[in-house]
Amino acid sequence: MATFKAIRIDKADKGTTAALVQFDEAELMDGDVTVRVDWSTLNYKDGLAVTGRSPVVRRFPMIAGIDFAGTVEQSSHPQWKPGDQVICTGWGMGETHLGAYAEKARVKGDWLVALPKGLSAREAMAIGTAGFTAMLAVIALERHGLTPDRGPVVVTGAAGGVGSVATAVLAKLGYHVIASTGRAAEADYLKSLGAAEVIDRNELSAPAKPLAKERWAGGVDSVGSTTLANLLSMTKYGGAIAACGLAAGMDLPASVAPFILRGVCLLGIDSVMCPVEARKAAWNRLASDLDRAKLAEITREIGFDQVFDLAPQILAGQVRGRVVVKIS
């Protein structure tokens, strides 16, 4: 059997190790579709896996990488045939199933989504899991009834992957976007994406009051912890916050007051096990509602070997926008 390049995570005496190796195709896990991976991305969870700073990898050896875009090489699944261009995100890739940082991947056909018409594989991974998650959050807010005339919306971690896409999408849809960031130097960048205001994350870092002054009708939060608690306390009557991240921690030091006195809703966003129909809807929305020129502006490209250098940087909040990884 052939071998191919892959970033392999192995268990070590203390923690894990990560290295670019030749991986034997015979060691790929079960699946009914084999894909030539063309592009992947660098996400926060990828940073954790490659650096070993958090035990996200639960099977060894593991190929890192939680999302890819590529071309079907072999398929016994009725929906897919060789030559089809596909996207795969989540489903435990890079955690329990061999992942995307490899020239080949074998997955279940039910995990795949067709590359939307008009979107290139590189653009799909410029969006990646982060942008897909951001779109799921926007759709959840819309289903809650949020519209631009309800008032401003807030986006936390706005200079990161999820935040950048959420800011750009919400701005294009006509919302007054308040972007929260800990990097003051990124203000011009965020305004170029469509943010109407940029605030310092310190405004949301103090212990949250049960109820604070109403500031926004809704928001997208990728930070969690005290930041999310503050967002909820400042949300207008009947508003909602879509929560999809935990960069600041998994705790939520909040009060029930916003929920029972203002009717605020906390909308949980999961992109890993999201049903396929919801995935298709989100990707189709991204193809139409995300400004392609802005996507290009927030994206940079790296090679396989540069993942190791950027992994610690994304964990430190030093990576702006999106990073695509050229695989094949």
* Rounded Cα–Cα distance for residues 93 and 68 (Å): 10
Note the pLDDT of residue 13.
87
The tens digit of pLDDT for each residue in 191-202 reads 999 999 999 999
Name 133's bridge partners.
Answer: none
Say if 241 falls within a structural domain.
yes
140 and 261 part of one domain = yes
pTM for the full predicted model:
0.94
Please report whether residue 19 resides in a domain.
Answer: yes
Residue 289 is assigned to a structural domain of this protein: no
CA distance 212 to 239: 14
183 & 308 share domain: no
- Cβ(102)–Cβ(63) under 8 Å? yes
Q: Determine the pLDDT at residue 1.
A: 53
- In a domain, residue 218? The reply is yes
> What is the CATH number for 305?
3.90.180.10
Strands (E), 96-222: 104-107, 113-114, 153-155, 177-181, 197-200, 216-221
Domain membership of residue 38 as a residue range? 3-115+298-326
CA distance 21 to 201: 40
Rg over alpha carbons for the chain, rounded to the nearest Å, is 20
Tell me what pLDDT residue 53 has.
87
Q: Are residues 99 and 194 in the same domain?
A: no
In a shared domain, residues 138 and 259: yes
Residue 171: DSSP 8-state: H
**pLDDT tens string for the chain (328 positions)?**
599 999 999 999 888 999 999 999 999 999 999 999 999 999 999 999 999 988 899 999 999 999 999 999 999 999 999 999 999 999 999 999 999 999 999 999 999 999 999 999 999 999 999 999 999 999 999 999 999 999 999 999 999 999 999 999 999 999 999 999 999 999 999 999 999 999 999 999 999 999 999 999 999 999 999 999 999 999 999 999 999 999 899 999 999 999 999 999 999 999 999 999 999 999 999 999 999 999 999 999 999 999 999 999 999 989 999 999 999 8
Residues 6+ apart with CB under 8 A from 84: 71, 72, 75, 114
User: Taking a C-beta distance cutoff of 8 angstroms, is the pair 318, 157 a contact?
Assistant: no
For residues 148 and 239, state if they share a domain: yes
Number of structural domains in the chain: 2
Rounded distance between C-alpha atoms, residue 57 and residue 48, angstroms: 9
Q: Are residues 74 and 136 in the same domain?
A: no
Structure-block tokens of residue 282: 């989100």
Q: Would 276 be classed as within a structural domain?
A: no
Is 110 strand, coil or helix?
A: helix
Closest CA to 134 of 104, 106, 158: 158
Residues belonging to the chain: 328
Q: Nearest Cα to 135, choosing from 33, 265, 288, 237?
A: 288
Predicted pLDDT of residue 275: 96
Q: Does residue 220 share a domain with residue 104?
A: no
Per-residue pLDDT at 192: 96
Do 63 and 164 sit in the same domain of this protein?
no
Q: Is residue 284 part of a domain?
A: no
Q: What is the DSSP pairing of strand 67-75 with strand 85-89?
A: antiparallel
d(C-alpha 191, C-alpha 170), whole Å? 13
> What's the one-letter identity of residue 22?
Q
Query: Is the Cα torsion angle 75, 35, 298, 311 positive or negative in sign?
Result: positive
Shared domain check, 260 and 162: yes
Domain harbouring 137, CATH code: 3.40.50.720
152 with 96, same domain: the answer is no
Together in a domain, 141 and 247: yes
Q: How far is Cα 243 from Cα 224, in angstroms, rounded to an integer? A: 7
**Which residues 6+ apart lie within 8 Å of 288 measured at CB?**
none
CA–CA separation, 25 vs 39, rounded Å? 19
Considering the domain architecture, whether residues 76 and 185 belong to the same structural domain is answered as: no
Q: Does residue 274 lie within any of the structural domains?
A: no
The answer to whether residue 254 is domain-embedded is yes
* Residue 228 to residue 159: CA distance in whole angstroms: 17
